C-alpha cells in the first residue's frame, strides 16, 4: 500500500538501506555520505538518490541533519519508508518551508535488490522503464 | 485533521507569525502521520538547541525574531558548547559563534537553560500520565518507559513548535493503544548477571535491533534495574533502533505484569535473550584494541547517584589518562553541595557540562581506545570522532584509568 507523507515527484538512482540509519551520527550532511562505522553501507552516498528505509532510527537530531543535507544539496531525492516516521517527515517539511527544497516521502516497498533509476510520485515508487 | 477554533486561529496568524509558523509545522507533520486531532501538553524538552549547521540557526532565529515564546515549561537539551568550562572545547570561532547564537535564540523563546540530555534528573520532572513533547531519543524513551509520561519521538524543529503552541498531534505513544507491548522479550541469564551494569547496555542494544519501532515488554529483570540502568538500556535501544517506549514487567509503571503491558492481548512474538546473545551484543559495541587512550562516562548525563559511585571508586587514586564525566549543570551543582566534586577532580577527572564529549570537540586525539560505560557513546563516537571504543562498567572504567590499561572484570 502506498501512502504519500510529503507530496512531490522525484527521479534518481535507487538506494536501499540494508539496515536503518540514524541521520544524526550516521550521515555527513556536508558530503551526503554514510559515516556510521557499523553500518553495512558505510562510505556510500545518499545524495540525489531515491533512498528506501524500513523505518527511522536513533537520534531526534536526525530531522536537523536531514534538513541541513537538503539545504546543501547532499540530501536524498526522495525517501521511501516502510512505515511513517515523524523525525524524517519533520526534516523534509522544514527544508521545504525554509528553502523550498522538495524531497517527496512515501510509504511503500522497494525490493532489497532493486537497482537503476526509480521514480517516486503519488503513485508510489516505481522503476523508470 | 480536526482542529479547534483556537488551533485554527493560531494557524491563521491571530496569535502572531511565530505561532502560525509553529502550528503550520505541527499540523503538516501531524496530518502526514495520520493524526485526527491535537491535544494539550504540559511541558516540552527541546533538542533543537544543538547546532547541526545553518538550518538549525535559521529556523530558530526566524521563530524567535517573529516573537516565538513557549506556551508550556520547556527544558533545553545539550548544546554544542560547555558554557561553564569554555576552555574544554576546541572548535573554530565561527561555529562557536553560531552555536552560541542558537542557544541564545532558544533562551529568548523562554526555554529554560538546563542544557542536559537527562531532563528526567531535574528536580521537577513529568508525572505519570502527563502528555509532553520531548526531543532527545534517550529522554523520550526514559519519560515514556520509566516515568510513564507520554511523548512521541519528536525531532528537532517540531519539539520547539509543539512547545510554542502547547499542542501535539494525538497518535502513537500519546494514546493507550500506542503504548501496548506487541513483542515479549524474556531475559534468561544467571541471577548474578543482573548485578552487572553492562547487561542493561547489551539488552538495550539487542532490543533496538530486534524491535525497531515496536513496543516491547521485558521479563526476567527485577528491581536491580534501577533508574541509571534503565537509562542505559533505553539510551542504547534508542540508538540501535527507534524505540520510544519499553516496559519491564514488575519494574516500570505500566507493566505490573506482562499481561498488563500487553493490555490483555497476546504479544505477536516472543524472543528469548540468553548469555550468548548478551555477550555478542557487548562484543558488537566494543573494539578489540588493548591500549587505553582516554575514558568518557556520563552519556546520557551522569546522575547524582553515578557521581556518588565514581567518587567512591576514585578515592585515593589518580587517573593516568584523560578522564571525562559528562553531566548536567544542575546535577553538578548538587554534587558540589554533596562534596563529591573535589575528590573526583583530585583523581584527575574533568567534568563536562551543557554538552557531551561525543558531539563537541573536547578530547585530544587519544593514543588508544576510549573506554566508556555507555552503549550510546559506543554507538556514535566512532562515526563522530573517529575513535575506537571499549565498553566497560563504571568500576572497570575507573580501574583502567587508574592503572593506565584496559581492565575488563565484568561479563564478557
Helix (H) or strand (E) holding B258: helix B258-261
Question: Chain A residues contacting B, CB < 8 Å?
Answer: 5-6, 20, 22, 24-26, 29, 35-38, 54-65, 67-68, 71-72, 83-87, 89-91, 93-95, 97-98, 105
B95 — contact with chain A (CB < 8 Å)? no
The residues near B243 (Cβ < 8 Å, ≥ 6 apart) are: B141, B207, B208, B211, B212, B213, B216, B234, B237
Cβ-contact A65, A91 below 8 angstroms: yes
* Chain B residue nearest residue A82, CA to CA: B213
Residue B141, pLDDT score: 98
Residue A34, pLDDT score: 97
B2 secondary structure, DSSP code? B
* Chain A residue nearest residue B388, CA to CA: A37
Residue-wise pLDDT for B335-382, tens only, equals 999 999 999 999 999 999 999 999 888 888 888 999 999 999 999 999
Whole-angstrom distance, CA of residue A126 vs CA of residue B136: 35
Whole-angstrom distance, CA of residue B2 vs CA of residue B8: 10
Residue-wise pLDDT for A86-107, tens only, equals 999 999 999 999 999 999 999 9
Cell representation of residue A7: 507530496
B240 — contact with chain A (CB < 8 Å)? yes
Q: List B372's β-bridge partners, or say none.
A: B296, B391
User: What residues in B contact A6, CB-CB < 8 Å?
Assistant: 32
* Sole residue written with cell 537520534: A59
The active-site residue, picked from A59, A60, A61, A63, is A59
Residue A1, pLDDT score: 55
Residue B342, pLDDT score: 97
Residue B412, pLDDT score: 59
Residue B307, pLDDT score: 98
Q: Average per-residue pLDDT in chain B?
A: 96
Whole-angstrom distance, CA of residue B202 vs CA of residue B187: 11
> Could you tell me if the ipTM is greater than 0.90?
yes
Q: List A28's β-bridge partners, or say none.
A: A33
In sign, the C-alpha dihedral spanning B260, B262, B263, B266 is: negative
Q: List B294's β-bridge partners, or say none.
A: B370
Neighbours of B164 (CB within 10 A): 29
Cβ-contact B135, B90 below 8 angstroms: no
pTM above the 0.90 mark?
yes
Residue B100, pLDDT score: 96
Cα angle B228-B243-B153, degrees, rounded to a multiple of 5: 100
Cβ-contact B141, B237 below 8 angstroms: yes
Residue-wise pLDDT for B233-286, tens only, equals 999 999 999 999 999 999 999 999 999 999 999 999 999 999 999 999 999 999
Indicate left, alpha or beta for B335 from its phi (over 0: left) and psi (-120 to 50: alpha).
Answer: alpha
- Whether residue A60 and residue B152 make contact (CB cut-off 8 A), yes or no, is no
Helix (H) or strand (E) holding B310: helix B304-314
Amino acid at each position: 500500500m502506498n501512502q504519500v507523507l510529503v507530496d512531490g515527484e522525484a527521479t534518481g538512482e535507487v538506494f536501499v538501506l540494508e539496515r536503518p540509519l540514524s541521520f544524526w551520527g550516521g550521515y555527513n550532511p556536508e558530503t551526503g555520505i554514510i559515516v556510521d562505522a557499523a553500518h553495512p553501507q558505510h562510505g556510500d552516498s545518499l545524495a540525489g538518490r531515491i533512498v528506501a528505509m524500513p523505518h527511522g532510527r536513533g537520534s531526534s537530531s536526525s530531522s536537523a541533519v536531514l534538513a541541513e543535507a537538503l539545504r546543501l544539496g547532499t540530501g536524498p531525492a526522495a525517501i521511501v519508508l516502510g512505515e511513517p516516521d515523524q523525525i524524517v517527515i519533520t526534516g523534509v517539511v522544514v527544508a521545504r518551508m525554509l528553502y523550498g527544497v522538495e524531497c517527496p516521502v512515501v510509504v511503500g516497498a522497494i525490493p532489497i535488490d532493486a537497482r537503476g533509476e526509480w521514480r517516486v510520485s503519488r503513485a508510489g515508487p516505481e522503476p523508470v522503464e | 485533521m480536526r482542529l479547534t477554533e483556537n488551533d485554527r486561529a493560531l494557524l491563521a496568524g491571530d496569535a502572531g507569525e511565530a505561532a502560525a509558523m509553529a502550528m503550520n509545522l505541527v499540523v503538516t507533520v501531524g496530518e502526514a502521520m495520520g493524526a485526527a486531532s491535537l491535544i494539550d501538553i504540559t511541558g516540552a524538552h527541546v533538542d533543537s538547541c544543538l547546532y547541526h549547521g545553518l538550518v538549525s540557526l535559521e529556523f530558530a532565529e526566524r521563530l524567535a525574531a517573529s516573537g516565538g515564546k513557549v506556551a508550556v515549561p520547556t527544558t533545553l537539551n545539550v548544546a554544542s558548547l560547555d558554557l561553564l568550562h569554555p576552555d574544554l572545547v576546541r572548535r573554530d570561532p565561527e561555529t562557536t559563534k553560531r552555536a552560541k547564537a542558537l542557544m541564545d535564540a532558544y533562551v529568548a523563546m523562554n526555554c529554560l537553560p538546563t542544557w542536559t540530555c537527562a531532563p528526567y534528573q531535574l528536580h521537577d520532572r513529568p508525572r505519570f500520565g502527563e502528555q509532553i513533547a520531548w526531543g532527545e531519543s534517550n529522554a523520550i524513551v526514559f519519560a515514556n518507559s520509566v516515568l510513564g509520561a507520554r511523548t512521541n519521538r519528536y525531532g528537532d524543529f517540531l519539539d520547539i513548535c509543539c512547545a510554542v503552541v502547547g499542542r501535539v498531534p494525538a497518535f502513537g505513544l500519546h494514546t493507550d493503544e500506542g503504548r501496548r507491548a506487541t513483542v515479549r522479550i524474556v531475559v534468561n541469564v544467571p541471577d548474578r548477571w543482573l548485578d552487572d551494569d553492562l547487561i542493561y547496555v547489551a539488552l538495550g542494544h539487542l532490543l533496538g535491533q530486534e524491535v525497531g519501532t515496536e513496543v516491547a515488554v521485558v521479563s526476567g529483570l527485577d528491581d536491580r534495574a534501577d533508574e541509571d540502568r534503565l537509562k542505559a538500556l533505553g539510551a542504547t535501544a534508542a540508538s540501535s533502533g527507534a524505540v520510544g517506549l519499553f516496559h519491564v514487567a514488575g519494574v516500570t509503571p505500566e507493566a505490573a505484569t506482562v499481561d498488563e503491558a500487553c493490555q490483555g492481548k497476546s504479544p505477536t512474538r516472543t524472543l528469548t535473550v540468553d548469555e550468548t546473545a548478551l555477550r555478542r551484543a557487548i562484543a558488537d559495541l566494543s573494539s578489540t584494541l588493548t591500549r587505553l587512550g582516554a575514558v568518557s562516562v556520563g552519556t546520557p548525563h551522569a546522575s547524582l547517584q553515578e557521581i556518588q559511585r565514581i567518587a567512591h571508586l576514585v578515592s585515593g587514586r589518580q587517573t593516568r589518562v584523560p578522564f571525562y564525566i559528562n553531566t548536567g549543570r544542575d546535577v553538578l551543582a548538587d554534587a558540589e553541595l554533596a562534596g563529591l566534586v573535589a575528590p573526583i577532580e583530585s583523581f584527575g577527572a574533568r567534568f563536562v557540562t551543557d554538552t557531551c564529549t561525543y558531539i563537541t570537540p573536547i578530547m585530544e586525539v587519544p593514543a588508544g581506545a576510549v573506554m566508556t560505560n555507555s552503549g550510546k557513546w559506543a554507538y556514535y563516537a566512532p562515526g563522530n570522532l573517529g575513535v575506537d571504543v571499549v565498553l566497560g562498567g563504571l568500576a572497570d572504567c575507573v580501574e583502567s584509568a587508574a592503572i593506565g590499561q584496559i581492565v575488563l572484570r565484568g561479563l564478557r
